[in-house]
Amino acid sequence: MADTLNPAQLAAVHHLDGPCLVIAGAGSGKTRVITTKIARLLQEGYAAKNIAAITFTNKAAQEMRERAKHLIGARAAKDLAISTFHSLGVRILREEGTRLGLKQQFSILDSDDVLSVLKDAGGTTDANQAKGWQWTISLWKNTGITSETAIHAAKDENERVAAVVMGRYEERLAAYQAVDFDDLISLPLKLFTNDAEARGKWQDMLRYVLVDEYQDTNAVQYELLKQLVGTRAMFTAVGDDDQSIYGWRGATIENLKKLPLEFPRLKVIPLEQNYRSTGNILRAANNVIAGNPKIYEKKLWSEFGDGDPVALVESDGEEHEAERAVARINALRGGGFAQHFAEFAILYRANHQARVFEQALRRAQIPYKVSGGQSFFDRTEIKDLCAWLRLLVNQDDDPAFLRSITVPKRGIGHQTLGALGEFSKQWRCSMFEALFAESLGTVLSKKAIGSLHEFGRYVNELQYRAEHTVGAEDARVFIMEWLGDIGYEQYLIDQEENEKVAQARWGNVLDFVDWVCKRCGGQITQDGGSTFETERQSVLQVAQTISVILSLAERGEERDEVTLTTLHASKGLEWPHVFLAGVNEGLLPFKADDEEMTADRLEEERRLMYVGITRARRTLAVSTLRRRRKGRETVMGVPSRFILEMKLHESIGREDPREKLKRMREEMAAKAAARDVQAAKDAAAEGKR
């Protein structure tokens, strides 16, 4: 990317004296605009703590902070209020919650917690029913519907039941002094709407607000934003109406339409220069999205030249498609177009599509990662136990040491640990090594050293046992004893006032134990035709695996792997070589058998296709299935209408794809005929036998 900003980016950065909406096309350098604008605001005299940047995911927030750090230095970046909508909500509620009758240490329920409260409130043990309620209630809460108004919003019998359950659910939350994720937005909004003093205080604190991925905001988030910026309206919203793909969870592009109406001084700036993809890819993207009605006109272009034409891949079925993808990866690498596996991504509509690709990649010995899921390891209770396991693997892991020695509390406080830390710094050793140092007596009391030694000895004992415990059953016994020794269940109960929440957390712990034990015992894996049994592992070996996974995740280190991900999860990412899988009618655009395709739905599916296309930097393959398995029978695969909409014949440097499509159809028909003949022969042979 060039060192200087282009005129549109500059305009976006320098428009400081009023509301600003940046329509940031895919790959148009929007994060750069946001961070540069933050620097500009600082220059303009804004204090760092008065600048708020709001994102949707923690990852995005972290990334933005990193980028800001590079630009303005760590010191200034530290004070910036960069956070997600939700963590900003937490901050507001921690400080002002008492005004809403919420104690300062209210608890936040995650979706598992919510599920168990809902089962309880609805008097059911059926997880699916409770999940249905959870979904409906969350959607209501995200569109501004409360337990009072829910009954009017209910459209069928199920929803009417959900509305009743919602009432009881909300009562329970209030009784537990707990909030769910949606409350983290709606309660601050309620506060600001009713309490001018609190509103004034926060408007004064967050004097300039930047919002990333504005097209993903829901109705409640929009209202909160309005309350935050007040009539001063000093804000910049950055978003792309063409990349709004979260309508199904309450995001609404109404928020984009409303903005100029509610803020007449709004300056709208489109960013159209793309710094990511080749001309052929952008042309296909523009052609597809042209099928949608426009809110803000924009057309992406780049200076990269036409590049390779977009490839159209047709395969006989899912397995064949996966083979074609593997072949393509090998061909591009062999041809010197790519050096690393990490340059490739395979994108698909639904998670289950990943499986076939996983098998094919494994067979071809190509490393891959499936994105999404793994958030399991983010839970505090799991992190606690992982810290212990990490310590067993590597005693010199100081963060793991600190977490283990304080979880659960064992009478070793920050005084002792501070001294130990100081000591280890001085002697350039790890804290665990410092534990048994003789000269420790000069800085710490006998009693403190006693408890430290006890901890150290226990860790050594655990480590020995972990190394020698093999197999699922023994592993379970060992781990449960360990958890009993450290009193972890009791710790969870003490930690959490709400008994239900504590139980749910303990449930997660048990899941984790299962997970570990499963890996300790030999497991039978079926891969394609072959069946093999993996080695039985010791607890320590499994812990090592976990440590590796965690440390890679922590350092954000990239392994050289092909990425498999859903289209939704791919937004914001990019790869040199992208393979769009299963671009068939019914899959993309997705259509369930029992539901009709509305214009809104189709438009969102089209945006999803657009997001997929624009992930590619250099080459893009669009893959369709001639035959699609649907249960036992094989149905005819119809290429997605989006493929036609790409107008690939406009691609430069290839044969006319309409001709190619025609040829492929003929081939398909011939093959199908041949198959039928073969099938008839087989049947005849079967009959003879």
Partner DNA sequence: AGCTTTCAACTTTTT
Partner DNA sequence: GTTGAAAGCT
Catalytic residue IDs: 30-31, 212-213, 243, 615
Which residue, 279 or 572, is less far from DNA as judged by CB?
Answer: 572
Orientation angle between helical segments 499-520 and 488-495, nearest 10 degrees: 150
Distance of closest approach, residue 591 Cβ to DNA, in angstroms: 9
Please, are residues 139 and 249 in contact by the beta-carbon 8 Å criterion? yes
Q: Shortest distance, CB of residue 186 to DNA, whole angstroms? A: 12
Residue 434, amino acid: A
Residue among 460 and 523 whose Cβ is closer to DNA: 523
6 to each of 2, 11, 31, 32, how far by Cα in Å? 9, 9, 14, 11
Torsion over CA: 318, 321, 325, 326 (sign): positive
Give the sign of the dihedral formed by CA 255, CA 261, CA 262, CA 263. positive
Q: Which is nearer to DNA, 332 or 501 (CB)?
A: 501
Find the shortest distance in angstroms from Cβ 158 to DNA. Answer: 15
Q: 482: which 2 tokens?
A: 């360990």
Q: Rounded CA gap, 11 and 13, in Å?
A: 5
Using alpha carbons, select from 245, 252, 215 the residue that is nearest to residue 347: 245
| Cβ distance to DNA smaller for residue 248 or 427 | 248
Distance separating alpha carbons of residues 284 and 288, to the nearest angstrom: 6
Length of the chain: 689
Nearer to DNA, 352 or 555 (CB): 352
Q: In 50-156, which residue ranges form alpha helices assigned H by DSSP?
A: 58-72, 74-79, 85-96, 111-122, 127-142, 150-153
Measured from the CB of residue 671, what is the shortest distance to DNA in angstroms? Answer: 23
- Beta carbon nearer to DNA, 179 or 313: 179
With respect to DNA, which residue has the nearer C-beta, 5 or 578?
Answer: 578
Burial degree of 381 (CB within 10 A; 0-12, 13-18, 19+): buried
Q: What is the DSSP string of 399-436?
A: HHHHHHHHSS--S--HHHHHHHHHHHHHTT--HHHHHT
Min separation Cβ 631 and DNA, Å: 1
Name the nearest CA neighbour of 83 among 188, 219, 200.
188
Residue 550 or 569 with smaller CB distance to DNA: 569
Q: Give least dist CB 323 to DNA, A.
A: 18
Bond into 408 cis (ω within 30): yes
Judged by the rule CB under 7 A, the positions of this chain that interact with DNA are 56-59, 84, 86-87, 110-111, 127-128, 135, 138, 181-182, 248-249, 349-352, 355, 372, 375, 525, 566, 568-569, 590, 592-593, 630-632
Cα distance between residue 146 and residue 149, in whole Å: 5
Q: Min. distance of Cβ 581 from DNA in angstroms?
A: 13
- On the CB side of 651, CA atoms within 13 Å amount to 27
If residue 33 lies in a helix (H) or strand (E), which one and from where to where? helix 30-43
